[in-house]
Structure 1
Amino acid sequence: MVVFVVLAAAGCAGSAPGAGGKVDVVTTTEILADLVQRVGGDQVSATSLVPAGGDPHSYEPTPADAKRVARADVTFTNHLLLEPQSLIKTIDANAPKDAPNISLAEAAESYGAHVIPLVEDIGLDVLWLGLRVRGTGKARGATRTSSIHLTATKIDGPGKLVAYLTESLGQPDLYFDSSNPADSTTLPPAAHTHLNWAFTKPGVYHLTLEGRLDNGRPLGKGTFTFAVGVEPHQVEPADGGKATVLDDGHTDLTVDLDSGQVYAYSDAQRVGAAQSVVPAGRVVIDVPGKALETVPDDPRFAFLGKAGAQIHQLPQAVLGKHVHGEIDPHLWEDVANAKAYVQLIRDTLIEVDPQSAPTYKTNTDAYLRELDELDEYVRSQLAKIPADRRQLITTHDAFGYLASAYQLKVAGFVVPNPAQEPSVDQVRRLSETIRNLKVPAVFTEPNLAQRASVLTQVARDNGVRVCSIYGDSFDEHARSYVAMMRHNADELLLCLGESR
């Protein structure tokens, strides 16, 4: 990972805020830039690093971005792992030391924002297995830009074990491969990611996972057991004691920054319940016969074996790289949270440019009144949707706050993986979800069209409308936060409301 660091010569900075020049504000997303501009008005120039229509989850910074950050009077990120760590590192490495560098989602709670867990329930018929780092590790010297190394120090079994990610365009990215000893990957603190776990032959496998901070400080080590195509309750776990078989729901192989332990963090056998800790040495992960997949006829997947060969695979379920934490970062989908952002932005600008405080307060008061009207508009529009039609099937999990604030329900779906075309079973599962919920429409996001092909196909096959709502970014049809939220309310009512 490359982090761009710009060294500014003394005396080359622009005019001080409030001394005839505008306050230069750099944000990570267009949504944040719009909120800042509404508060700052003519006293502020707010720009976004992620370009129009870009995906803030995957945007990679450039040297020009580092220069913009180095000139900024204020920087605002959303964080809670919305943005990729490379972007956060670029900001933290280049932001002037005396300039506020604010993580809005984390700091806005004191202004009345509320956060909710990021609940993922795709409803797979096999275990959904990922990797996770829990805790902040502050006592061990970790920061939000730290990288925690997760290394597979030992893998054994009757065949190959490969853990890999399928990117948004179908490109595989290998994390662990038993034919390459001591493979390693990294995650930031309090982060989680999805992976595919493939096994080329049935039998019992063991994976020893070790954690280490980027400052060299060792964390824990633990060995997980996989029962692949065999009866899991007859398999002895790594510590030789009583096994805990994990066979459904959502589980992560986890390194804990605060305790220094390695364990499974799992809701298996208790889908929808809070996740619990299972020591690595007691874990037996069930990879059943129904996890059989065919190696696609694609040279990019040759590492799995010959095309057409049968392998066992636990799917990553959500296509593309999506590193996130335990808290849903999309706070702005609840207008009340956007109001908290706005008040925090106001106070930050006043700190930087106190002589313009009256302007910032006046602008904020007017904008808060507009946001109150927006909140009432969204609420009244969505209240018109019948109770049995309040199901959301979307491109990615960005609408938990919208659902929580306005009494909707987010429903999950399975994205095909790893083949470029969906299998018959994958199409069937998504079709059954749409039919069982009797949803009249599904929703794609304009900036994530490449991830929506399967959802669009299955919706059309089932005679379901395909509609569009905004999650993380604007486009040419919605160039402000207010316009975005009004569109979402109107589109949800149009597509989920009574047929016209």
Structure 2
Amino acid sequence: MTARSTAPSGRVRRGVAAAVATFAAVSIAGCASPRTDDGGERPSIVTTTGILADLAQHVVGDRMDVHSLVPPGADPHSYEPSLRDVRDVVYADAAFSNYLLLEGRAIIRTLDANVQPDVPNVSLAEEAVKYAAEIIPLVENVSLDTIWLGMRVRGTGEDRGADRTSQVRLRATAVEGPGELVAYLTETFGTPSFYIDSSDGIGDTDATSLPPDAHTHMSWAFTEPGVYRLTLEADLLLEGRDPVALAPAATVTFAVGVDPYAELGEDVTVLGSGHADVTVDLDEGEIYLYSDPHGGGDATQRVLPADEVVVEVPTKALHELPAGSQYRFLGPPGEQVYQLPQAVLGAHVHGEIDPHLWQDVGNAQAYVEIIRDTVIGIDPEGADHYRSNAAAYLLELADLDAYVQARIDDIPPSRRHLVTTHDAFGYLGSAYGIDIAGFVTPNPSTEPSIQERRRLVETIQNLHVPAVFLEPNLIARSSTLTEIAGELGVRVCRIYGDAFDDEITTYTAMMRFNADSLHDCLS
């Protein structure tokens, strides 16, 4: 691994990667700002997560109050802010989120709707690239033998008045075909949530909404073979305004269980593998297919006009409906339907960049520098205090960075394989040389498919993995991984992702624990 050098600020510098949105606004009046013991007002900071609160507390010391909106053990993806949280935001002198679609929309709207206009509202992950943070893309598995098809919003829409709390609604207006078309999401415990369902006609509910620069996966099911045509329109949803039409209607064609060339002509572009999304371009005002046929990320993405593309749903996509009531909307148990699988189970809305930057200590150092510079701007009289605290903490983080690297370097290379439930450790793997060998699903609260379970078993067996790792707050919802570990005789060890608990309450303790756990369980 390339050696690291420490810059004068104490921050570990490595090259800069080239990279680099619900809660109603509540008006709170007649309350005083927090005060110090001597009666003077003390500035306050709000952060979205406990990890960010800990970083901020090390910088501000006793000159500011720090409040985390998400309590210990809660999930920043789904936490619903309280009225007390709104009050904290209203009176905050600075607000820090991670974002890159890490936090749920309720948290982001609470911040953006209630932070005062002159108060810094900083997305640390998005600012961190300016401070030499390493940014890595989310690379998704494209090993399915049929295409992954989702929905996406590209662009920011700033010229249209959109911001990170805005939503783009992609809605079906017509479906033609020999059978029914259903696009749905498999949620926790296998419960389906519908985006499009032609079995009861097409109406206003046949739609999905996404924030700017996000995409989501889903399953697509077809009850009969033949050619289907799905017509879609898109609207921009802004607070207090009627929906704004974004793009002319576009039609997506599916060849289900038939030869697409024989049915539709030799000149069509057939999408039959890789990852593609029905995409609304928020800046250009278009609906098209955004295709990554080989899994290469931005380098291989293609923009394809919807009317020139056919999505292939081959005969091998036939699946037998399981017993139970949750899939009766597709037919009785035992009946076969054609299905493009969701690939990633559970509600999985994300952007193109992995948001879990702090799993690389160097990126946490960038966060500290951003917090330092921000609080100096709002309290310049405390500049020396903030600089001194930050400098000391950056040195502590530099030592932490070296400790994590040393512990992982001491693991035999053949055993540096991380298998976990939650896809939150890409930065840990990239920074310190751990192979992210497998995870059940990127969403920690869902049950995997039989195919995913089989793939995970094969990964553990083929790599001779001695231990799997679970986040403490997710152990109760990780039965699949613990069952597999028991069947294969491998250990179940702890690792912390994006939440503290009663035992681990600081960032440095979290990263040291993770390094020790990896070392002890894999060595």
TM-score (norm 2): 0.87
Q: Cα–Cα, structure 1 residues 231 and 244, in superposed 2: closer, same or farther, change >3 Å?
A: same
Please, which of 323, 338, 342 is the counterpart of residue 312 of structure 1? 338
1:90 alignment counterpart = 110
Output the CA distance in 2 between the equivalents of 1:159 and 1:233: 20
Please say if residues 49 and 69 of structure 2, whose CA atoms lie closer than 8 Å, have aligned partners that are also in contact: yes
Q: Cα–Cα, structure 1 residues 255 and 424, in superposed 2: closer, same or farther, change >3 Å?
A: closer
Output the CA distance in 1 between the equivalents of 2:303 and 2:237: 25
Output the CA distance in 2 between the equivalents of 1:292 and 1:341: 48
Q: Cα–Cα, structure 1 residues 344 and 225, in superposed 2: closer, same or farther, change >3 Å?
A: same
Displacement after TM superposition at 1:415 (Å): 4.8
Please, which of 173, 187, 202 is the counterpart of residue 181 of structure 1? 202
Secondary structure of residue in 2 paired with 1:210: strand
Q: Cα–Cα, structure 1 residues 387 and 263, in superposed 2: closer, same or farther, change >3 Å?
A: farther
Q: Cα–Cα, structure 1 residues 289 and 372, in superposed 2: closer, same or farther, change >3 Å?
A: same
Please say if residues 168 and 450 of structure 1, whose CA atoms lie closer than 8 Å, have aligned partners that are also in contact: no
Please say if residues 188 and 346 of structure 2, whose CA atoms lie closer than 8 Å, have aligned partners that are also in contact: yes
Q: Cα–Cα, structure 1 residues 476 and 9, in superposed 2: closer, same or farther, change >3 Å?
A: closer
Please say if residues 132 and 190 of structure 1, whose CA atoms lie closer than 8 Å, have aligned partners that are also in contact: yes
Output the CA distance in 2 between the equivalents of 1:416 and 1:27: 24
2:509 alignment counterpart = 483
Counterparts of 1:96-495 in structure 2, within 5 Å, are 96-121=116-141, 123-178=143-198, 179-182=200-203, 183-215=206-238, 216-220=243-247, 221-236=249-264, 242-269=267-294, 274-413=300-439, 415=441, 424-449=450-475, 451-495=477-521
Secondary structure of residue in 1 paired with 2:53: helix
> CA offsets, 1:129-161, max 9 Å, x none?
211111111122211111111111222222221
1:44 is the counterpart of 2:64: yes
Output the CA distance in 2 between the equivalents of 1:396 and 1:58: 15
Counterparts of 1:16-27 in structure 2, within 5 Å, are 20-27=40-47
Please say if residues 128 and 370 of structure 2, whose CA atoms lie closer than 8 Å, have aligned partners that are also in contact: yes
Please say if residues 419 and 438 of structure 2, whose CA atoms lie closer than 8 Å, have aligned partners that are also in contact: yes
Output the CA distance in 2 between the equivalents of 1:309 and 1:17: 71
Please say if residues 84 and 323 of structure 1, whose CA atoms lie closer than 8 Å, have aligned partners that are also in contact: no
Q: Cα–Cα, structure 1 residues 214 and 118, in superposed 2: closer, same or farther, change >3 Å?
A: same
Secondary structure of residue in 2 paired with 1:306: coil
Secondary structure of residue in 1 paired with 2:62: helix
Please say if residues 278 and 289 of structure 2, whose CA atoms lie closer than 8 Å, have aligned partners that are also in contact: yes
Please say if residues 408 and 518 of structure 2, whose CA atoms lie closer than 8 Å, have aligned partners that are also in contact: yes
Q: Cα–Cα, structure 1 residues 157 and 399, in superposed 2: closer, same or farther, change >3 Å?
A: same
- Name the stretch that deviates more: 20-29 or 431-440: 431-440
Please say if residues 225 and 284 of structure 1, whose CA atoms lie closer than 8 Å, have aligned partners that are also in contact: yes
> CA offsets, 1:62-108, max 9 Å, x none?
33322221122221111111111222112110112222111111112
Identity of aligned residues (%): 56
> CA offsets, 1:195-226, max 9 Å, x none?
12122222222222222211533223322222
Please say if residues 4 and 62 of structure 1, whose CA atoms lie closer than 8 Å, have aligned partners that are also in contact: no
1:250 partner amino acid: H
Secondary structure of residue in 1 paired with 2:208: strand
Output the CA distance in 2 between the equivalents of 1:291 and 1:380: 47
Displacement after TM superposition at 1:456 (Å): 2.5
- Name the stretch that deviates more: 51-60 or 217-226: 217-226
> CA offsets, 1:95-127, max 9 Å, x none?
122221111111122222121111111632322
Displacement after TM superposition at 1:32 (Å): 0.4
Q: Cα–Cα, structure 1 residues 405 and 336, in superposed 2: closer, same or farther, change >3 Å?
A: same
1:428 partner amino acid: R
Output the CA distance in 1 between the equivalents of 2:223 and 2:440: 23
Residue-pair matches, total: 492
Secondary structure of residue in 2 paired with 1:304: coil
Displacement after TM superposition at 1:289 (Å): 3.1
TM-score (norm 1): 0.91
> CA offsets, 1:411-452, max 9 Å, x none?
3456599xx976654432332233334333322222233552
Output the CA distance in 1 between the equivalents of 2:37 and 2:47: 17
Output the CA distance in 2 between the equivalents of 1:160 and 1:64: 47
Please say if residues 324 and 333 of structure 2, whose CA atoms lie closer than 8 Å, have aligned partners that are also in contact: yes
Secondary structure of residue in 2 paired with 1:91: helix
2:10 alignment counterpart = none
Please say if residues 33 and 41 of structure 2, whose CA atoms lie closer than 8 Å, have aligned partners that are also in contact: no
Secondary structure of residue in 2 paired with 1:332: helix
1:4 is the counterpart of 2:6: no
Q: Cα–Cα, structure 1 residues 277 and 436, in superposed 2: closer, same or farther, change >3 Å?
A: farther
Output the CA distance in 2 between the equivalents of 1:71 and 1:100: 12
RMSD of aligned alpha carbons = 2.6
2:286 partner amino acid: Q
Counterparts of 1:67-82 in structure 2, within 5 Å, are 67-82=87-102
1:33 alignment counterpart = 53
Please say if residues 46 and 67 of structure 2, whose CA atoms lie closer than 8 Å, have aligned partners that are also in contact: yes
